Chain A
Amino acid sequence: MSIQDQLPEQLRKRLAEDPLFGAKADLLHDGRFGEQWLAITEHEVSVWQQDHTQLLKLKISELKDARAVGAVGGGTLLADTGKGPVVLARYTSAQSSIFGFAAKLLGAMAKKEERPVVSERDFPRYCQNCGNPLSEGTQICQICTRNGKVAARMLRYTKPYKLQLAATAVLLIATTLVELVPPYLTKVLIDDVLGPKDVGSTLMLVILGLGATMLLMSVMQTIRGLIGVWVGSKLMGDLRKDVYSSLMRLSLAFFDRRQTSQFIGRVNSDSEAMRQFMTDGVVFMSAEMLRVVAIFIIMFGLDWQLTLYAILPVPVMVAVSMTIWPKIGRRWYHQWRSIFRLNTLVGDSLQGIRVVKAFGRERDEMARYNEANVELVRRNIRMEGLWSFMFPAFAFIAGLGTLLIWYNGGNKVLSGEIQLGVLMALISYLGMLFGPLQWISQMISWASNAMAAAHRVFEIMDTPSEVPDVRNPEPIGVIKGDVAFDSVTYGYEKHHPVLKNVSLHVKAGEMVGLVGHSGAGKSTFINLICRFYDTDEGAILIDGTDLRSISQVDLRKQIGVVLQETFLFDGTIAENIAYSKPDATPLEIMRAAKIANAHDFIVRLPDGYDTRVGERGHKLSGGEKQRVAIARAIIHDPRILILDEATASVDTETERQIQEAISRLVKGRTTFAIAHRLSTLRNADRLVVLERGKIVEVGTHEQLLEKEDGVYRKLVDAQKELSKIKGVEG
């Protein structure tokens, strides 16, 4: 796609030169929706209104700079001129990227710098077919591809169980047919035995027949039930596995934007809803369908005229079902959302239970829960209430049909047109017929619930990872550990960059300390090295290879991280240390712990290395957890080591111990360390000072201290001040 393409022909003709850039803004200058055109040529910037009248023209030579100022929901492209800033265009956030590029281009032209190269990411992308926006990192339009084939996709899960399901189907057909025998036998009983008072052996035979069918039915139902349970559980397992693995596959950015406790519910209840539909739902539905057809055939055979009366209520039922279908879907969704809110609430307050207790907010939490709970109760009542209405309503409509048959059939029996047994059989069949019809409403409920669940589940599965692996990743083997940042710009929300144009080359084995105020972008810097996120601009190279062309598994093998918030999994200390190397020998585990200065305290624990940590079990202190985490990084034996405020939450003595551990650990590895206590970084070969996402100073501790007005020096001075007050730390 070329950028000039964006400009209409008529406007292009009016330009004195070929445009370098053209774009349509989706807001007017006063902020209303509308269209305006912006064109940049070698010497001018022009803006036209929707009716192609010129609104603005500036000479590039008048410009000093240009900026894209982001706002909530949109932004403004500003040009700085000698006479103050001028608004060039306003736009909604859909167009932030393209005008961000315009600002860069104009800025570079004004300052006579090298012009930025347009990249595909600068353009909002739309589907070629339907014109709807495409999501990040994908070429596939959701609207065009996923055209409602959710059900088919869901049923694909039953594929591995074809045989079992086929068996169920056969049994089903058999049971259905056998079920139809007793009413017929009843007819025989009434008309041929009881009616004519035949005292022969027929009575016994008919009774035996009835008994045999009953037994056969029970056996077949049991077998069918067992197969159903088996297939159902398997299916459920498959679904859960798929949802969970799609969750694991997703990038951090996905979880940043969402509350994680919601997924617990999704993995379990959504797959349950889908399973219910697939096994009970589909099996039931086919069984009932079959039964309906069979019953009608027999009934027609018995007396076709009377049967017609039985069919009368059916269209009514179908019509009712059709009208309430959307309503049910909606109510399911409401109910789901209430449950979802409730789960989130519980997840949240339990995760923060310490804070809740510390501030004595239990009552308020209970009140909050109660409110959500009441809401769910209300939704439940509405949902279930609909059923309590539906079932009787269906039964009543069905009953009307029965009445019709009683009346007309009764007359026919009285006038001797048919025998009593036939009427009785018809009535029995009719009773069996309305069973399935009532099931229709249950089916509707299952199906709509399952569809909604499937949508949510497939949404997770279809979300592309924002840090995709390339198709043919470069084999890197064991790396040396050179790390280079090449004009890297990154923002968690695009167009609000947190790191701006950062370039840095770190040689293998070097230890770099990152310092700066909180929020300067230090953690972001290392997140990028781990490739938790991809850069917006520029590239990160490891041993000269772009991070993006290395497979993430290979990459993470080479990187070890110790973060401020240490997370230990539920398990023993040994398991936690061996997390990245499950086959580690006990000796290796102890060695790693020894290097991390953790061995001594672990052995002193009553359960030693088998002490359970994590959610339940033994709680370690902050410093102890930290050292376990360091041991975990050591056993990983990474070429690149990342320490993000690994010693922030410990006392000076523990810090010294950790410090010691770290200095042993960093030998021969490329290390990035972030620490609030600047003294922690005294071993660093170089210090990199970040301020508001930019590198402002680089050098050794001594070099940076020499800078009179340096940022680093100020930080050091401020900390000296602080430690004087506290009277600790020499």
Chain B
Amino acid sequence: MAAADDKYDIRMFAPDDVYFSRGSGGVFQGVIDGTTYDELEVYRAFPFLYTTQYISVRNTKGEELGIIPDIAELYEESAKELEKELQLRYFIPRVTRVDSVKQKSGLWMWELQTHLGSTRMVMRNLHEHLQYPGGGRVILMDISGKRCEIADWQALDAHSRKQLEEVL
């Protein structure tokens, strides 16, 4: 591929083009096309539809170095680091249990258990703070901008489903 048309094309990385690791300071870094970067940023191009595909890798200036078509194709070590970084960058805990959903004078309080620990969300209403990307998935956003995700609300335990039936 000629360098000239690179600029207007999307660069797709093959598994051999990239190597990701974590620096001693806990920062995501890697070697890309033989160049070492001691800090890299990753973005999901389709955060709702394809969570493990089409990952944009960028330098700290925000310039795109290329796109990982699918994390599953990467070498194991790179894939593991990348997945971890995505989890950190897209802080969207997965809800494992809904303890309670209560409406207290105009605000909705959610007590949730997630795979990252328990948390509470506060919403002003339901129609602006819940998103349904499809399937049984629900994205919750609270008034501070915090997000949680329910992968499939029908797959949750009976107690959680009961809580959710009231509001979904």
| A interface, CB within 8 angstroms of B | 27, 29, 31-34, 69, 71-74, 76, 78-79, 81, 83-87, 90, 92-94, 96, 124, 132-133, 135, 142-143, 145-148, 150, 258, 326, 330, 333, 337, 340, 455-456, 458-459, 493
Contacts and interface: CB of A to CB of B under 8 A. Distances in A.
A258 B26 contact: no
Contacts of B92: 72-73
B1 interface: no
A76 B84 CA distance: 14
Contacts of B116: 27, 31-33
Contact of B166 (A27, A87, A330): A330
A73 B145 contact: yes
Contacts of A71: 88-91
B25 A83 contact: yes
B122 interface: yes
Interface residues of B, number: 41
A73 B105 contact: no
The prevalent SS among residues of B at the interface is: loop
Interface in B77-94: 84, 87-93
Contacts of A456: 125
Contact of A337 (B47, B107, B127): B127
A69 B143 CA distance: 20
A94 B93 contact: no
Interface in B99-118: 104-107, 109, 114, 116-118
Contacts of B128: 258
A147 B107 CA distance: 10
B59 interface: no
A98 to B, nearest CB: 12
Given A33-B116, A33-B117, A33-B118, A459 B125 contact: yes
A93 B24 CA distance: 25
- The residue in A31, A94, A124 that gathers the most chain B C-beta atoms within 10 A of its C-beta is A31
- The residue in B91, B117, B126, B147 that gathers the most chain A C-beta atoms within 10 A of its C-beta is B91
B38 interface: yes
7 contacts: A33-B117, A76-B88, A81-B25, A90-B88, A92-B144, A326-B166, A330-B166
Nearest to A58: B25
Contacts of B93: 33
A124 B142 CA distance: 14
Contacts of B105: 142-143, 145-148
A81 B38 CA distance: 12
A148 B127 CA distance: 20
B39 to A, nearest CB: 5
A365 B47 CA distance: 25
Nearest to A495: B145
Interface of B: 23-27, 29, 38-39, 41, 47, 84, 87-93, 104-107, 109, 114, 116-119, 122, 124-128, 143-147, 166-167
A660 to B, nearest CB: 39
A143 B38 contact: no
A150 B39 CA distance: 52
A456 B24 CA distance: 51
A412 to B, nearest CB: 49
B87 A31 contact: yes
B168 to A, nearest CB: 9
- The residue in A73, A133, A145 that gathers the most chain B C-beta atoms within 10 A of its C-beta is A73
A493 B141 CA distance: 15
B106 A72 contact: no
A32 B107 contact: no
Given A33-B114, A84-B25, A96-B145, 20 more contacts: A31-B84, A32-B116, A32-B117, A33-B118, A33-B119, A34-B117, A71-B88, A72-B47, A72-B89, A78-B27, A79-B25, A84-B39, A86-B26, A94-B146, A132-B122, A133-B144, A143-B107, A145-B105, A326-B166, A337-B127
A92 B91 contact: yes
A66 to B, nearest CB: 12
Contacts of B90: 71-73
Given A83-B24, A86-B25, A146-B105, A93 B88 contact: no
A86 B38 CA distance: 11
Contacts of B106: 142-143, 146, 150, 455, 458-459
B125 A93 contact: no
A84 B91 contact: no
Given A84-B25, A84-B29, A459 B124 contact: yes
Given A72-B89, A74-B91, A258-B128, A85 B23 contact: yes
